[in-house]
Amino acid sequence: MSSRTHEDAEASVREVRERLDRVTDPELDESIVELGYVDDVLVRGSSVDVTFTLPTAWCSPAFAWMMATDARDEVESLVTVETATITLREHMHEAEITEGVNAREPFESVFPDADGGVESIRASLDEKARVGRQFDAMNELLDAGLTGAQISKLTRRDLSLEDGGVVFVRDGNVGVTFDPEPLADYLEKAEATGLVDADTDHVFRTPEGDPIAPEQFDLVHKRSRLANVNMTGQGNICDALNEARFAEGRPPLSET
């Protein structure tokens, strides 16, 4: 939790939403702001209240928990915010999740029957998100003119994302420029999964996390596409369920 720097400074709703934009639905790897989950943001001095709703009332409690805690932590990372209070609405476990997250209890004590802790679920979804993002990053480098074999061999030191992206190939003698955004998105997840850091020799990996042999590039590229299609596919299902749930004239459901 951060301390306040100015007595009178107050976060703007826009600043809060920018922080919330960094929070993803872990199954879809898309921002909860983009997905339209955030209903309301209320700033009162150094306290911020965020209310959100998920596409279905039975969305996995572990996923809902991750989004709620991530939202709380992101908002509290603003220097002008002391406490963020998160409220989940219209969910089968809205009370347990809202109360548990705001009381800063661990997931396991609120949901003792859940299989596996929230951190292991997060790790496996992060891994899938990494592979999905890898597809866009590889495509950016292919479009910039690199070959699959060159991409397979890239080290973290070969890539510079500052001042537009530059990648050095042919033993560092040739610099090729590219749009840094898909690479930055990829590296963010690759770092979160612990596969890549500043000294990493292989930036890109198989879905299992191993370095890519040059002749394997095409297969890994296709598997990355598949992971990407899967995540966005599930997004389309959630989206349709969301529309169905809030359609006009819809009888109240899922409240038993």
Partner 1 sequence: MYQQDGEDIFVIDGHVHLWDAREENITHEGGEQFIQCFYDYHTGFTPEEREWDLDEYRHYGKDRMAEDLFGNAAADMAIFQPTYLTDFYDEGFNTIEQNAELAEEYPERFVLNGTFDPRDGEEGLRYLEEQKEKYDIEGVKVYTAEWRGESKGWRLDSDESFEFLEKCAELGIDKVHAHKGPTIRPLNRDAFDVADVDDAASSFPDIDFVVEHVGLPRLDDFCWIAAQEPNVYGGLAVAAPMAQNRPRKFGEIMGELLYWLGEDRIIFGSDYALWNPDWLVETVMNAELTDAQKDEYGIELTTDVMKKIMGENVAELYDIDIEAKKEQFRSDSVTEEFGLGDHYGTQDATAD
Is 89 one of the binding residues for partner 1 (CB under 8 A)?
no
Binding mask 161-190 for partner 1 (x = CB under 8 A): ------------------------------
Q: How many residues bind partner 1 (CB under 8 A)?
A: 35
First to last CA, the chain: 38
Nearer to partner 1, 89 or 157 (CB): 89
Is 247 one of the binding residues for partner 1 (CB under 8 A)?
yes
Q: Select from 92, 97, 160, 188 the one that contacts partner 1 (CB under 8 A).
A: 92
Residue 174's alpha-carbon distances to 63, 84, 177, 218, in angstroms, are 44, 48, 10, 23
Torsion over CA: 8, 13, 14, 18 (sign): positive
Q: Select from 19, 24, 27, 182 the one that contacts partner 1 (CB under 8 A).
A: 27
As measured in angstroms, the least distance from the Cβ of 227 to partner 1 is 5
R_g (Cα) of the chain, nearest Å: 21
Nearer to partner 1, 8 or 113 (CB): 113
DSSP string, 44-102: ETTEEEEEEE-SSTTS-HHHHHHHHHHHHHHHHTSTT-SEEEEEEES-TTHHHHHHHHH
Is 234 one of the binding residues for partner 1 (CB under 8 A)?
yes
Binding mask 205-224 for partner 1 (x = CB under 8 A): --x--------------xx-
Is 36 one of the binding residues for partner 1 (CB under 8 A)?
no
Binding mask 106-145 for partner 1 (x = CB under 8 A): ---------xx-----------x--x--------------
Contact 78, 45 (CB under 8 A): no
Instruction: Give the span between the Cα atoms of 152 and 231, in whole angstroms.
Output: 23
Nearer to partner 1, 25 or 70 (CB): 25
The SS3 call for residue 166 is strand
Token output for 40: 């309301």
Q: Where are the alpha helices (DSSP H) in the chain?
A: 13-20, 61-76, 94-102, 107-110, 118-143, 148-153, 180-192, 217-245
Is 251 one of the binding residues for partner 1 (CB under 8 A)?
yes
Q: Select from 13, 58, 95, 105 the one that contacts partner 1 (CB under 8 A).
A: 58
Is 149 one of the binding residues for partner 1 (CB under 8 A)?
no
Residues near partner 1 (CB under 8 A) are 27, 56-58, 60, 92, 115-116, 128, 131, 207, 222-223, 225-227, 229-230, 232-234, 236-237, 239-241, 243-245, 247, 250-251, 253-254, 256
